[in-house]
Structures are given as structure tokens and as C-alpha cells.
Amino acid sequence: MADLQAELDRIDAEIRAAEDWGEVAAYIPELARVPKRQFAIAVATADGALCAAGEAGQSFSLQSVTKVFALAIALGRSGDQLWARVGREPSGSAFNSIIQLEHEGGRPRNPFINAGAIVVTDEILAGREPRHALSEIVQFVRAAAGDEDIHINRAVAQSETRHGHRNFSLAHFLASCENLKNPPEKTLGTYFHQCAIEMTARQLALAGRFLIGPPAGPRLISTQRIRRLNALMLTCGHYDGSGDFAYRVGIPAKSGVGGGILGIVPGVASVAVWSPGLNRYGNSKLGTEALERLARAMDWSVF
């Protein structure tokens, strides 16, 4: 994989020369403290190689990237019943929008906007305690990465709990529409801890292998489910920036406000990028640029 490694080194050098590194997520104080001039890229290929450049051993807050793993688990538990509670259409609205939820009677547009992800976590939580649900989520991520050294950062979870007024609004609104099975505080406590899972770019690239499709990576879910998760990542993974991301990068991917993005090149590779500064959609600014450069250089696209 000499070509791939050379490409990652070149992208790392180019990205570091950037003047505008975006803005870190200020609404979660613990994330606002992260220095924004950091960048990492890692690629795990279907044939078992792992290449990386930049700060690929530095842990970062996964945030909404965890929604992909949570959705895989929720679909495993509830199957198609989940879709009665949450839709599968791109939202065209911000990740934390409230207005669309009211318009649509409390059924979130898709499982990756916050309201939808809260429903997904609520589904995983139903009938048990938060620590059991969280343990299943962390175990799934560890199994996907093949690495036990993956943990929840409790300071980040507490920071979001103290300042998560917007998500409390969404959860209470869902409850008022009878679309929450657990008390809002209990579901949100679980959701905030899920979002506070930390990983390095190297670990995240490895964890994404289960979405590359057979025969690559651990067989955690069926081929049909792999395809469906990738479809949702492509259409909804970057919130109201999903169309722009598909146009520029052309692969399924999921972003998080910690600055991480997990991208999947079906049949070929799992890619993780991280740079904490965000663009106006709440997606990593330089992470997106790096993926755009990599996809072009490697001729990777689903189109």
C-alpha cells in the first residue's frame, strides 16, 4: 500500500498548510477546549492494510459518528419496527432542528439527526438500564475495531448533560408525542454517554471495516443491513450538508461535532479523518477537504 501511504502523507502536509481550520463546537464546553489545529487520517483496506498520517493515535470525541453503530444495534434488536418511530429521508435541516419535528408530528426525519438518534438510543435502552445499553454499544464498537481500549469520556458526557438544553427540548417533545419509551432524562443520559465514546482515527478506520461489506472486516451485521446503513450515511450522514458532501466526496460517511468523519468505500476501504474545526453544517471542515482529496486521488466513488 505504498501509494496509499504516500497519498495520506501528501494530504496531511497539504491540510496542515490551511489557513482556515473552521470552528470547534462551542455548545459542549469540553469540546470547545480542544485545540483546533489538529488533523488525522487513517485508512483500513478490505485486504487488511492499515495506513495513517497526522495525529492518528490521538483520541477524539466520536459524537454523532456513534449513531452509525447505535443504528446497527437498534436494527438488530427491533428490525423494521424501528421505522415506525423514525424516517429515512434527508432532513435538509440542521442536526439539532426542533421545527421539523413538530411539523412532522414527533417522528424524526432520519436516524442521524439528533431527534432520530435519540429515538434510536431509546430503542436500545428499552427494557434495561443505561449501563447495560452503553455496555452493548461500547462492546459493539470494540468488536468492530478489534480493540478493547475504547472508552467513554465521562467529563464530555457530563459537559453535554449540563448544557444540552436543545437535546432536552427534542427529547421532551418526542415524549409529548409518545415517541419515547423511557423517561427523557434516562434516554438522554444514555445518548450523551454514547456520544462521548472516544477513539483514535486508527481505531475508527478499523471499526468501520464491518461496513465495507464481505469479506472484509468482522461480520457483525448482514450484507443487506450493510448496504442500507451505507445508503443512510450517504443521504443523511452530514445533515443539511449531505448533498454537498456527496457531490464533493461521493462516498457514504457519517460526521460528528468532535470533528471526526467515518467514510466507507464499499468493497474497498474504511476511512477515518479527524480535525476538530467545523464548517457551517457542523461537519469537520478540513476532514471533509481531506476526504475530497483522497477520493479524487484514489479514484474512489460510489457513482
Q: Enumerate the active-site residues.
A: 64, 67, 191, 239, 257
In this chain, which residue has its C-beta nearest to ligand GLU?
A: 64
Contact 160, 195 (CB under 8 A): yes
Closest to ligand GLU by CB, 64 vs 200, is 64
Give the nearer residue to ligand GLU in terms of CB position, either 68 or 206. Answer: 68
With CA atoms as reference, report the closest residue to 249 among 225, 220, 273, 222.
273
Q: Per-residue x/- marks for ligand GLU, 61-90, CB under 6 A?
A: --xx--------------------------
Q: Which residue has the cell 448496504?
A: 227
282 binds ligand GLU (CB under 6 A): yes
**In the complex, minimum distance from the CB of residue 65 to ligand GLU, in angstroms, rounded to a whole number:** 7
Task: Please provide the size of the chain in residues.
Answer: 303
Q: How far is the CB of 236 from ligand GLU (least distance, A)?
A: 12
Q: What is the CA radius of gyration of the chain?
A: 18
| Of the candidate residues 56, 257, 261, 265, the single one contacting ligand GLU (CB under 6 A) | 257
* Site membership for ligand GLU, residue 122 (CB under 6 A): no
Cα four-point dihedral sign 261, 210, 264, 44 = positive
Smallest separation, CB 96 to ligand GLU (Å) = 6
Which residues lie closer than 8 Å to 181 by C-beta, 6 or more apart? 122, 123, 125, 126, 187
**What are the start-end ranges of the H helices in 48-164?**
66-78, 99-103, 114-125, 130-145, 154-163
Nearer to ligand GLU, 106 or 217 (CB): 106
CA dihedral over 252, 104, 172, 82, signed as positive or negative: negative
Which of residues 160, 198, 240, 289 is near ligand GLU by CB under 6 A? 160
**Cα–Cα distance between 226 and 299 in angstroms, integer?**
22
Can you tell me which residue has the cell 434488536? 77
Q: Is 161 in the site for ligand GLU (CB under 6 A)?
A: no
Smallest distance, ligand GLU to C-beta of residue 194, A? 8
Smallest distance, ligand GLU to C-beta of residue 61, A: 8
Candidates 69, 95, 173, 300: give the one binding ligand GLU (CB under 6 A): 95
Q: Confirm or reject binding of residue 200 to ligand GLU (CB under 6 A).
A: no
256: closest CA among 272, 269, 268, 243? 272
Q: Is-contact 171 180, C-beta < 8 A?
A: yes
Provide the minimum distance between the beta carbon of 300 and ligand GLU in the complex, in angstroms, as a whole number. 24
Strand arrangement of the beta sheet that strand 269-274 belongs to: 50-54, 40-45, 269-274, 260-265, 253-255
Task: Please select the residue that binds ligand GLU; options are 40, 74, 120, 195, rule is CB under 6 A.
Answer: 195
Interaction of residue 93 with ligand GLU, rule CB under 6 A:
no
Among 58, 78, 93, 96, which residue sits at the site for ligand GLU (rule: CB under 6 A)?
Answer: 96
Residues that bind ligand GLU (CB under 6 A): 63-64, 95-96, 114, 160, 167, 195, 256-257, 282
